[in-house]
Amino acid sequence: MPTELADLPLELLAQLLAPLVSRRDLCSAALVCRAWRSTAQQLLLRHVRLFGRDLAIAPLLFHTLVDHPHLAAMVRKLEVRVYPLSMKLRERQEMEDLAIRMLANCVAVEDLVWTRKGALTDRVFEAIVALPKLRSFECNAHTNLSPGSWDADHFLDLPPLRSLSLILPDRNVANLLPAFLAKQRSLAATSASRAGDDNVLVLEELSILCRESTVINDRVVAALAPSLANSRLTSLALAGCAKLTGAPLVSLLPTLPHLRHLALEACALDPSTFFPAAAPNLAALESLKLTHPGPRHPTLATFLPALESLLDHTHALTALTLYHSGASATGRREWPVLPLAFAQHVAATVGPRLRKFEVSGVLVGVEAIEALTERARSLKNLVLHLGQDFDLPRLTASFAHLASLRTLHLLSQRADISPDDVLSLAEQCSTTLRQIGFRNRVWLVRRTYSPAADAPAQVRFVETAGAFGAFRRNRYGAESDVESEAESGDEVGGASASASDEEDDEEDE
């Protein structure tokens, strides 16, 4: 029997180190000995991410991957959400050269995120296209920026992708999308003929994030439909498409037999007609994300009844997200309210299957929360937006049913809830709770146990630098069941970023 760690086979080392998720711990493991170094480096570099506060270290990371090709070859997923953009032409060109050389060394990258506004150029795109194993690509899709302009035709040179996410696409990209998907389908047909498979599009995830833009409209979506029809698409997310009505989607949805995750946010949908028409084709849907029209929108009266009708047809739904972010004409936010009757309907129809329920920008009363948690006892992830007045003890008691709760975030205008109150709430939740937030603060929940059998667990907080956006994951659109722990500053490349923060960076910098 092995008596020391050194006696164990090296083949087990990767499994022993796998629970280490923080950059700090993996760096320490890499310094233990030569035998550990390679395995720890592979775990450390498999997912490299550069977020908001990592701007200063971005050039250092690029230099490291340029100077040490064997380290660059370990990178499987590369997220570049910050990028130095000097106003001096020479410095900007030097950074571009460095990025291109770094990408050339990242021969094993499968997932690439390149979203910093102005960081994409023709030469950088050519280096991206040359990545031999690229299967997932997310980028800022505005072609006419200064600096950073590029030709949308580069999309036609991309290899067959499994996932594509476009942030703030302009008209050049929107007009090219039908040709791009047709080319992707052609590439898939070539691969399928060699493998004896069906001629279907390889793309499984498509996400397009706009900001009250008209470029992704009915005409564009209708032009995409022939390439998407009968494809492997499992996730579709369309956000901020101000001229996208339900008409082309009603025709498209019946042709997507594998669709499991759907997000339709801030689009020009008429819920009274779209939801009933789409419902029969969404029976297998697992996650749904929608935008509440707001308290003064003409469709307010029909939205929730139509949504109830849609939920009646979903037989596999495990995640529901509903949010509202609009402001009134005076500039002051007006929060819609989630009726008790709707919460009861959700609990009765999909409650027993729900694993994730998020409501933000839509106020939820404690009575509605009680109705939900009474039936939806398998919830793991929960986001609720409370009003200014609520009964904290009663609210805390409502979470007692949730034996599998992992993440809980409470939004509210109420400012008199202290961190001690939040800690007390966490102590009374299930021992599975790992993350809790109130307003714009998020804590990791750590429990320590005494050797004494009858001693209660001690709960402590580790506050993260990330706010609510980090809690909600750093991904746009439809979401899967993949769970991650936001531990800002400990991951490779630094902090987690919120979707809203990132969008502001894209638009305002």
Q: Is 318 exposed, middle or buried (0-12, 13-18, 19+ CB in 10 A)?
A: buried
Measuring CA to CA, which residue among 441, 440, 410 is closest to residue 425? 410
CA distances, 37 to each of 10, 45, 75, 168, 489 (Å):
12, 12, 15, 41, 22
pLDDT averaged per 10 residues, the chain (length 509): 61 66 67 70 81 87 94 93 85 94 97 93 96 96 84 96 96 97 88 57 93 94 95 95 94 96 95 95 96 91 96 96 74 85 97 95 95 96 92 94 94 88 90 90 80 68 60 45 40 34 38
Contact status, residue 110 vs residue 76, Cβ threshold 8 Å: yes
Helical packing angle, 218-228 and 171-195, nearest 10°? 10
pLDDT at res. 54: 84
CA distances, 222 to each of 219, 227, 253, 406 (Å):
5, 10, 12, 40
Measuring CA to CA, which residue among 100, 21, 11 is closest to residue 484? 21
pLDDT at res. 19: 63
DSSP letter, residue 78: E
pLDDT at res. 239: 95
User: Alpha-carbon torsion 102, 106, 107, 111, what sign?
Assistant: negative
**What single-letter amino acid sits at 63?**
H
Residue-wise burial string across 187-199, b where 16 or more C-beta atoms lie within 10 A, e elsewhere: bbbeeeeeeeeee
**Helix or strand (DSSP H, E) at 263:** strand 261-265
Entry pTM: 0.85
Measuring CA to CA, which residue among 426, 442, 445, 447 is closest to residue 434? 445
pLDDT at res. 145: 77
